[in-house]
Structure 1
């Protein structure tokens, strides 16, 4: 099966476009995508990305103009009869290696961690979903020795309001997002830095 998606944008001084083509070959999916490609003076390879994916197993991305390769491997193992989802990511150009893990206790409780090799960056997050509509997410950042907090509320099934606070940067964030096949998709984000003066 072959799927393709095209979209374009026209400005007075330039014409930008993006396109993607995906081909399913059994268990493996081949995909080519191009974003922010300038086509005024003829097509260019800017933003051309080639991918090979086996859903739930691996993704290999090749950025053609940058000659950069990104590997992502996924697997799920059982720990005390609970699923532990592991994701290993290596970006050759950025020289970054990341390990993500998520231990799912039940539909409402999950513990996840993110570790970047060589940097010491490590985050541990607990997620609790209350009655399927409200989510509480405290997160501890070991590198910054600080806590982040987030609370989100689902409204009318497709709108999500989210508030977050980063104690290290003192940034309060407010998000409103919608993901609907009928009413469309959007996301509005606002951030403000909170400074407390004492004395």
Structure 2
């Protein structure tokens, strides 16, 4: 099975596109992705990445322009009859090592943590979903000693509205996402930096189309 996806985005005076082709080869997936393609000053393609993935087990990414390798290993264990999902990632070129963990308390409550070994920073997040349609996500950044807050609401089945606020940067954001198995995904976002003197919102739009061949 061959799967492809194309994503286009527009933000102010810039626009770009990204594309991914995935080949299912038994238990593993082979993927080629162009993560950055801009057209503002003529076509420019960069960010080619080749990946080998075994879902739920590992991902190996090779950044062709940077000649960099990134490893990611996933595992899940049972702790007190709860699922603990662990992800270890290592970017060789940047020497970045991180460990992510998520404890699924029940379908509505999740606790997650991210620790970056290079900077020593740790982020803690709690996620609570009310009746499957409204999600609250407070997040604490240990290094910055600051909180981030996000609230999302599902409406009309495939539409999700999400609002977030970062206390350290004072950025307020609002986005609307629509996902459809037929027309792909469409997202419109607006953000406002309350710390700037000229409080002009930044607008962006993004569309993703998926194909099976």
Q: 1:182 to 1:90 in 2, by over 3 A?
A: same
Structure 2 spans left out of the alignment, 5+ residues: 9-15, 39-43, 196-213
State which structure, 1 or 2, has the greater radius of gyration over its C-alpha atoms: 1
Counterpart-to-counterpart distance in 1, 2:122 and 2:183: 38
Higher relative contact order (CA 8 A, sep 6+): 2
Partner of residue 13, structure 1: none
Aligned residue for 1:3?
A: 2
TM-score (norm 1): 0.81
2:167 counterpart residue number: 167
Give matches, 1:1-199, under 5 Å: 2-5=1-4, 20-36=20-36, 46-182=46-182, 184-194=184-194
* Superposition deviation, residue 172 in structure 1: 1.3
Report the TM-score when normalising by structure 2.
Answer: 0.76
Contact 2:123 2:140 in 1 (8 A): yes
Deviation at 1:124, TM superposition (A): 0.4
Deviations 1:88-111 (A, max 9, x none): 111112221111100001010000
Distance 1:50 1:161 in 2: 33
Indicate how the Cα distance of structure 1 residues 64 and 189 shifts in structure 2: closer, same or farther if over 3 A, else same. same
CA deviation map 1:107-156 (0-9, x unaligned): 10000011111212111000000000000111111011111111110000
Asked if the contact 1:45/1:64 (under 8 Å) is kept, the reply is: no
Assess, with a 3 A threshold, how the Cα gap between structure 1 residues 151 and 46 changes in structure 2: closer, same or farther: closer
Q: Secondary structure at the match of 1:112?
A: strand
The 1:114/1:7 distance shift into structure 2, 3 A limit, reads closer
State how far apart, in whole Å, the 1-side matches of 2:176 and 2:17 are.
27
Note the aligned Cα RMSD (angstroms).
2.6
Q: When the two structures are aligned, how many residues end up with a matched partner? A: 183
Unmatched tracts of structure 1, length 5 or more: 10-15, 39-43
Cα distance in structure 1, aligned partners of 2:36 and 2:139: 35
For residues 161 and 85 of structure 2, the distance between their equivalents in structure 1, rounded to whole angstroms, comes to 27
